């Protein structure tokens, strides 16, 4: 533009006005262009500013929304936590309320039970009172009636007595007349008198001799062919046993070789205890052959752990004679208890094959307390019980190769110290462990549900009982774990309860649900029984402490 301007200066004179106009227009155009450019820049700047403002506003709105969202989330989380705390507090209150209600229910049941007992006692007392009153009224009525009819009875009695007196006098006169005539005739005939005296003497001697012979023969037959009253079961031959069951006598007992198999077949014990019992059993079975004294055994432990089963199986499978008695049978004999024990051991010593004498519940008559006196403020022992223990100690005080005594008791501590001194070997039968419980459950399931006997053969079909496939090895393992504290007898009752549940349900299938329900019920009742036994034991201990004080 400047070059163009400079060139325009040298234009001709006639063109000077146009040059002036051009010079005047050029700045205006430049100014307009500058203004337009400035306006454009300003518009662009304003647009950029507005864009930044809008972006800033959007960023602020986004941050505000995020903050609001975070606040809402925190508020919701806090609300959830408050709700959880409220739920936990509600559950805790519900649990406490349930415990209070359960305690109140038990208390109410105890009160209702006590009220029923009190009502029964009152009803019994009222019934006895009414019965006594009725008897008194009946007696009064009979007495009054007898008094009213006394005159009639007196006249009848006088007439009857007079008639009987007259009849008896006539009979006596006739009898004495006949006897007098016969006696007069007999006295005149000495031969008949001698015959009569001899006949009467011989008759009296025969009667008394027959009575004595019958008594002696009866005692001999009882000693040789019978069994003592204390013996409940025996393998020895008796007349009554062979008469009523001759086939049993012909079969006889199994040989000693089957003892180990029988013990392993039925008993489920801990390995260490089973091994000790096996050694003792083998030693016992070979004792008679070597003619050495028998060793007396003591089996103790909780009820239902297999003590009686072991002794019975050993006795029946040993090939020796065996006899089984219960200690509770000695007490009712009273003063005859000592003599019956003497008869029992005398009978045992006559066995040729050797005899295993199993005394179940031995603590019933072999317990402590011989030094205490009955009625002296302690749990004393009667004279008859002391005599019975003394008789037992007398027969077991020395070694013998005639018999072996096997005692069984639930509590070893209550046995007399002298009785424990007679024992050569003691075995504690504890509650079964998990592995033993599993084996017992399988055994009882085979016996009571599947109908399979101990020999592994089907004996009979138990009403077509079908066992659910879900009752598998894992379920039985769970049952064995949940039945901790159960004895062998309680496990058998558990399986029998499952059998009864099947019969009572009207179906022929033992489902997993039924088995689980029976298991829970049995476990619950076992816990209640244990609690009751503990309470009773504590009461007995407190009573003993009070007695000692």
Q: Are residues 307 and 323 in the same domain?
A: yes
Residue 278 pLDDT level (bands cut at 50, 70, 90): confident
For residue 368, tell me if it sits in a domain. yes
Residue 281, domain CATH: 3.40.50.300
- Do 416 and 485 fall into the same domain? no
Task: Determine the average pLDDT of the residues in 363-383.
Answer: 68
* Total domains present in the chain: 2
Of 371, 395, 428, which closes a domain?
Answer: 428
157: in domain: no
Q: Which pLDDT belongs to residue 139?
A: 82
Calculate mean pLDDT across residues 198-219: 76
Mean pLDDT to the nearest integer, 344-362? 89
Q: Say whether both 487 and 541 belong to one domain.
A: yes
Average pLDDT over residues 121-150: 83
> Residue written as tokens 């077949």?
265
The pLDDT value recorded for residue 9 is: 45
Would you state the pLDDT for residue 536? 64
Lowest mean pLDDT among 45-59, 99-113, 254-268, 313-327: 254-268
CATH number at residue 511: 1.10.8.60
Residue 427: phi and psi, rounded to 5, are: -130, 125
Asked whether residue 375 is domain-assigned, the answer is yes
Total-model pTM: 0.54
If asked whether residues 363 and 461 sit together in one domain, one would say: no
Note whether 401 and 264 are same-domain residues: yes
Please give the Cα distance from 226 to 241 (Å, whole number): 9
Mean pLDDT of 402-422: 90
The three-state secondary structure class of 191 is helix
Domain boundary among 405, 428, 451: 428
Q: Are residues 454 and 354 in the same domain?
A: no
Short-list 328, 330, 389, 324, CA closest to 355: 324
pLDDT of residue 245: 45
Residue 22's pLDDT is what? 56
Name which residue leads in pLDDT, 378 or 80: 80
Contact (CB, 8 A) for 227 and 323: yes
Pick the more confident residue, 381 or 334.
334
Query: 239 pLDDT exceeds 60?
Result: no
Lowest-pLDDT choice from 87-101, 214-228, 362-376: 214-228
Q: Let me know whether 265 and 373 are in one domain.
A: yes
Residue 332 lies in a domain: yes
Sign for the CA dihedral angle at 132, 135, 139, 140 comes to: positive
CA-derived radius of gyration, the chain: 54
Region 171-200 average pLDDT: 74
Has residue 237 got a pLDDT over 60? yes
Task: Print the domain residue range for 500.
Answer: 434-548
Note the pLDDT tens digit of each residue in 501-525.
Answer: 888 877 788 888 888 998 998 888 8
Pairing assessment for the beta strands 509-510 and 466-467 based on DSSP bridges:
parallel
Q: Do 340 and 443 sit in the same domain of this protein?
A: no
Identify whether 263 is part of a domain: yes
191 falls within a domain: no
439 three-state secondary structure: helix
348 token code pair:
């045992």
Indicate if 421 and 458 belong to the same structural domain: no
Enter the tokens of residue 29. Answer: 């155009």
Interval 221-231: pLDDT, tens: 555 556 788 88
From 428, 454, 487, the end of a domain falls on: 428
Mean pLDDT score of the chain? 79
Counting Cα atoms < 13 Å in the Cβ hemisphere of 495 gives 25
Residue 62 domain-assigned (yes or no): no
Residues 400 and 456 in one domain: no
Q: Which of 88-97, 239-248, 299-308, 455-464 holds the top average pLDDT?
A: 88-97
- Element housing 360 (H / E): strand 355-360
- 543 and 524 assigned to the same domain: yes
Residue 389 lies in a domain: yes
Q: Which of 16-20, 183-187, 443-447, 459-463 has the lowest mean pLDDT?
A: 459-463
Query: Does one domain contain both 354 and 414?
Result: yes
């Amino acid at each position: 533009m400047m070059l163009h301007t400079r060139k325009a200066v040298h234009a001709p004179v006639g063109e000077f006005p146009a040059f002036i106009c051009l010079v005047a227009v050029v700045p205006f155009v430049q100014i307009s262009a500058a203004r337009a450019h400035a306006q454009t820049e300003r518009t662009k700047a304003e647009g950029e500013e507005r864009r930044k403002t809008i972006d800033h506003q959007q960023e602020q709105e986004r941050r505000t929304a995020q903050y609001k969202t975070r606040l809402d989330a925190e508020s919701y989380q806090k609300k959830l936590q408050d709700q959880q705390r409220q739920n936990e507090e509600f559950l805790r209150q519900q649990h406490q309320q349930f415990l209070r209600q359960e305690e109140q229910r038990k208390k109410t049941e105890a009160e209702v039970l006590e009220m029923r007992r009190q009502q029964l006692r009152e009803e019994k007392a009222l019934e006895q009172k009414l019965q006594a009153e009725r008897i008194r009224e009946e007696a009064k009525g009979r007495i009054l009636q007898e008094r009213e009819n006394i005159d009639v009875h007196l006249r009848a009695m006088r007439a009857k007595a007079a008639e009987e007196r007259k009849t008896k006098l006539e009979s006596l006169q006739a009898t004495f007349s006949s006897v007098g005539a016969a006696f007069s005739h007999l006295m005149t005939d000495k031969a008949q008198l001698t015959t009569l005296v001899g006949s009467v003497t011989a008759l009296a001697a025969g009667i008394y001799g027959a009575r004595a012979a019958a008594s002696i023969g009866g005692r001999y037959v009882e000693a040789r062919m019978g069994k003592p009253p204390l013996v409940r079961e025996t393998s020895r031959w008796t007349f009554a046993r062979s008469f009523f069951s001759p086939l049993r006598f012909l079969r006889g007992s199994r040989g000693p070789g089957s003892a180990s198999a029988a013990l392993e077949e039925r008993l489920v014990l801990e390995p260490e205890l089973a091994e000790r019992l096996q050694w003792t059993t083998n030693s016992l079975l070979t004792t008679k052959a070597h003619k050495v004294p028998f060793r007396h055994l003591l089996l103790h432990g909780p009820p239902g752990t297999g003590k009686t089963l072991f002794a019975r199986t050993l006795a029946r499978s040993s090939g020796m004679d065996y006899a089984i008695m219960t200690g509770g049978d000695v007490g009712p004999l009273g003063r005859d208890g000592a003599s019956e024990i003497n008869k029992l051991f005398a009978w045992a010593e006559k066995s040729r094959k050797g005899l295993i004498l199993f005394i179940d519940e031995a603590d019933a008559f072999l317990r402590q307390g011989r030094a205490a006196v009955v009625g002296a403020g302690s749990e004393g022992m009667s004279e008859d019980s002391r005599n019975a223990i003394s008789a037992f100690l007398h027969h077991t005080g020395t070694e013998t190769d005639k018999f072996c005594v096997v005692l069984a008791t639930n509590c070893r501590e209550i046995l007399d110290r002298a009785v424990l001194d007679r024992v050569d070997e003691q075995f504690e039968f504890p509650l079964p462990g998990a592995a033993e419980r599993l084996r017992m459950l399988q055994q009882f399931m085979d016996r009571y549900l599947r109908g399979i006997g101990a020999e592994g053969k089907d004996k009979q079909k138990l009403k077509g009982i079908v066992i659910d496939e879900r009752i598998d090895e894992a379920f039985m393992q769970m049952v064995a774990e949940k039945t901790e504290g159960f004895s062998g007898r309680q496990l058998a009752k558990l399986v029998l309860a499952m059998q009864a549940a099947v019969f009572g349900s009207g179906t022929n299938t033992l489902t997993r649900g039924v088995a689980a329900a029976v298991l829970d019920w049995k476990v619950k009742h076992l816990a209640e029984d244990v609690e009751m036994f503990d309470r009773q034991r504590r009461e007995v201990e407190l009573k003993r402490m009070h007695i000692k004080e």
